[in-house]
A and B are shown apart, each in its own frame.
Chain A
């Protein structure tokens, strides 16, 4: 027959016989003439769970598992020992170096560290606040710029041009330079209502710089969503903005989450650039302390605080990156 292989279970109207497919609960009693195939798709789905729970690993598998475990133990030992040995070598080299005593005194003074830490911590709280405020603004503005850049509405041409120029310029200027320009230039204009607190000026500079990066990341995300997804949404009757909000944007963000997080981590660190404007954030506090006692240990304290925040964030970003890679592979394998 011409439809031999591809329609195994199709029970058309003139074909009442239940096809010879393995059906777990054969209900031959009343094959209601009106609904020949209503129950047909069901058998393909379930019938897993119970069988899997009862499965007991065979002796061979148990042996394999024992071997894998001992191998893992051995690998852990090797990794730990080699790391220790490496760190020991590094420490020995440092201590043996001619300048060690000086460095030890200047950078690793425990008393100095303890004395400075509370104030640095207080300063760091300002870094965290600057980060949070800047981040919120960057996300909103970055999305706006990205959307302007991807829309094709002819009326938005001037805006699109402005967005392109903005991104080009502000990605090209070093962030520190922007902090100087905004921090000293904006107040010098003496415009009505310009903020004067240095930390606010610093946040403005960071927002200007990072919005350009984040906008580009989000734009890449928006463009990575398959056009068929938009069609599918429109076909369901979703309006343009509903499609953007419920279908395109979630996928866009999901696709670029790792680079987005990397930008956040960079931003968190760059809040220290605002120190040049003078607000008492962690680096500035450490600097004051260091100048006062001619001891650089406070810098180490500030560095540790930044690390304490960025390392967990980095781990999260790594995990998301791996997950994204897995998902891409799974989707490609279909």
Chain B
């Protein structure tokens, strides 16, 4: 395999005296979907935030397509334009309509003319089943619709890499499916995705690889099939039996 799109080496992150990520190495190849799994507080969100430079790393490097994102001389605002992110909640801007939410970054960051930005946005909304919602404000949408709109917004700037942080964990079970459908569709279209999830069934369906994180350390990494059905590491086994038991 040639150079991966995202290359993380020896990543360290501390909050105060607490080490949250310890020597994390992770590669994501182009068109690959990698799922991060692990218990609450294991560092999944922190890892994604470090990749998007929303947090400053304490050691190690992150490369995106040959550019070192962790280089302090790099303009973080510029680097972030190549990455799309959807968080667990509070994604959309409540004072803007769905359409304006999606066109904001293309227009003011990338200088796309309004008309063209809206055309692209409408295409995305149609694709995500939100064609009739473009004029609505986020508080008029269901949770699942909000997350799909957030995905549309992340896609509007045509990012090379998509980071998804437990985008379904704030949703009612019956809304989870519609959001995950969208992610499965993105995979089909060749999007490169690094996502934190606690939907093990979904991880098994879409993930090319699964990483199990515990206390900021990647304990196990492998194909979805292997990690989820035949875990090698005892703590992976413990974690899986715990989450699967709850169902």
Contacts and interface: CB of A to CB of B under 8 A. Distances in A.
B80 A235 contact: yes
A238 B176 contact: no
Interface residues of B, number: 59
B205 A6 contact: no
Contacts of B109: 236-239, 242
Contacts of B110: 237
Nearest to A48: B132
A279 to B, nearest CB: 40
Nearest to B100: A246
Interface string B164-184: 000010000110111011101
Interface in B112-138: 127-133
Contacts of B83: 235
Contact of A235 (B54, B173, B177, B201): B54
Contact of B131 (A34, A45, A234, A236): A45
Contacts of B185: 35, 37-38, 40-41
B85 A235 contact: yes
Given A38-B185, A238-B105, A331-B94, A7 B202 contact: yes
A254 B95 contact: yes
Contact of A236 (B105, B176, B188, B200): B105
A237 B199 contact: no
Interface stretch (B5-13, B24-32, B142-150): B142-150
Interface stretch (A10-18, A170-178, A212-220): A10-18
Contacts of B77: 234, 237-239
A237 B188 contact: no
Classify the interface of chain A: helix, strand, loop or mixed.
loop
Contact of A13 (B87, B132, B188): B188
Of B83, B87, B109, B153, which is in contact with the most chain A CB atoms at under 10 Å from its CB? B109
Interface residues of A, number: 49
Contacts of A228: 87, 89-91
Nearest to A3: B201
B19 to A, nearest CB: 22
B108 A238 contact: yes
B157 A237 contact: yes
Instruction: Please classify the interface of chain B as helix (H, G, I), strand (E, B), loop, or mixed, using the class held by over half of its residues.
Output: helix
A247 B90 CA distance: 13
Contact of A251 (B95, B104, B105, B184): B95
A7 B205 contact: yes
A46 interface: yes
A234 B105 CA distance: 10
B195 to A, nearest CB: 14
Contacts of A259: none
Interface in A32-80: 34-38, 40-46
Nearest to A231: B54
A251 B94 contact: yes
Contact of B129 (A44, A235, A239, A331): A44
A3 B199 contact: yes
Contacts of A8: 174, 177
B238 interface: no
B204 A247 contact: no
Contact of A5 (B80, B173, B181): B173
Nearest to A1: B201
A41 B129 contact: yes
Contacts of A104: none
A232 to B, nearest CB: 6
A237 B181 contact: no
A235 B87 CA distance: 10
Contacts of B81: 237
Contacts of B54: 231, 234-235
Given A2-B247, A236-B153, A246-B108, A41 B95 contact: no
Given A41-B181, A246-B104, A7 B199 contact: yes
Contacts of A235: 52, 54, 80, 83-85, 87
Given A3-B201, A36-B188, A45-B129, 13 more contacts: A2-B247, A5-B247, A6-B202, A7-B177, A13-B188, A13-B205, A38-B188, A41-B178, A45-B130, A234-B80, A235-B80, A238-B104, A242-B108
Interface of A: 1-15, 34-38, 40-46, 226, 228-229, 231-239, 242, 246-247, 250-251, 254, 327, 330-331, 334
Interface of B: 52, 54, 77-78, 80-81, 83-85, 87, 89-95, 104-105, 108-110, 127-133, 139, 143-145, 148, 153-154, 157, 168, 173-174, 176-178, 180-182, 184-185, 187-188, 199-202, 204-206, 244, 247
18 contacts: A1-B201, A2-B201, A2-B204, A8-B177, A12-B184, A34-B188, A35-B185, A37-B181, A38-B127, A40-B181, A41-B128, A43-B129, A45-B145, A232-B93, A236-B104, A237-B80, A251-B93, A330-B139
